[in-house]
Amino acid sequence: MKNPILFLLPFAAAAVLLSAVSCHSGNASSESSDSAKSPVTQLSGEIESLHEKTMNKIAPMRRMEDSLHAHIIRIAAQKGDTTQLTAAAARLNSCDTTMFGWMGRYDMQLEGKTDSGKAQYLRGQVAELTRIDQSIDSAIAEAKGLLGNQ
């Protein structure tokens, strides 16, 4: 069993990130009605929503990974083939690592960037986070398929 403190650490990090993103977008929207409609504000809101949507998949994804590991142990004890299960568990773990890596690299402050530079950076982050979300969906679907066959 994994250390429960280590299990909760990413959720604490996510809460801090979400809080900071919320504060950042809240500050931008309080400046003026024109800036509330700026591409930077819109993209920041899109990232916040996508981040929340993706983070909601992390706990179920980790439970699936644990279930896969339990099946791997059971099947390995029976000398069965665990190749697909092992690959699916590794993929779930990789998605988890990728998501938290993105969170660690995400620049919420956007300091030293022009408005167009900020918008360009945020568009890239939306694209990257969308790819991560799609990878998570794909890994979850694969794991569900394998777990359904066990």
Q: Both tokens of residue 33? A: 């009605």
> What pLDDT is attached to residue 124?
98
Which residue, among 28, 20, 18, 29, has the nearest Cα to 53 in the 3D structure?
A: 18
- The pTM of the full predicted model, rounded to 2 decimals, is 0.75
pLDDT in tens, 69-79: 999 999 999 99
- Residue 51: domain span: 4-148
pLDDT in tens, 83-93: 999 999 999 99
CB neighbourhood size of 43 (10 A)? 20
Largest CA distance in the chain: 66
> What pLDDT is attached to residue 84?
97
> What pLDDT is attached to residue 35?
45
- Mean pLDDT of all residues in 42-61: 97
Higher pLDDT, 31 or 98: 98
The band of 37, judged by pLDDT with boundaries at 50, 70 and 90, is confident
Residue 143 pLDDT > 90: yes
Alpha helices, DSSP H, located in the chain:
4-29, 33-36, 39-55, 58-77, 83-105, 115-148
> What pLDDT is attached to residue 59?
97
> What pLDDT is attached to residue 25?
47
The band of 24, judged by pLDDT with boundaries at 50, 70 and 90, is very low
Q: How many domains does the chain have?
A: 1
C-alpha dihedral sign at 72, 75, 76, 81: negative
